[in-house]
Amino acid sequence: MNSRRKKLMLRSGNTNMDHLNAVILAGGSGTRLWPLSTASFPKQFFPLPNGKSMIQESLARVEKLIPPSQAWVVTSRNMVELVHEHLPLCNIYSVSRWGAVLRRR
């Protein structure tokens, strides 16, 4: 457990963060940064100067509080494999555009 997580737990008076979960939304159609960002490779998967992608940086921020097994990524069906490549330890749910859960990885 890192020191930042310990400080946050002590400040809150709770030394057990097992109840905490994080949801990372990974969707979009890749239109804002077109032609770099596309529907098959949206901006959250682009490498940043440090070599990590935006979605990996999102997980890194919440990892100060929880392990990856308590992070849930919600994405579209066509991005499940890409999310799994970037965040192999997270729970991944794909949803239809109507919000129905299609599968869990």
Tens of pLDDT along 27-84? 776 677 767 777 777 888 888 899 999 999 989 988 888 888 888 888 888 888 898 9
CB 24 within 8 A of CB 72: yes
Which pLDDT score is estimated for 57?
93
CA–CA separation, 30 and 22 (whole Å): 24
Highest mean pLDDT (candidates 5-14, 55-64, 88-97): 55-64
What are 56's two structure tokens? 């990996």
Bridge partners for 24 per DSSP:
73
Q: Which residues contact 75 (CB under 8 A, 6 or more apart)?
A: 25, 26, 27, 83, 92, 93, 94, 95
Q: In 1-105, where does DSSP find H-type helix? A: 3-12, 54-62, 80-86
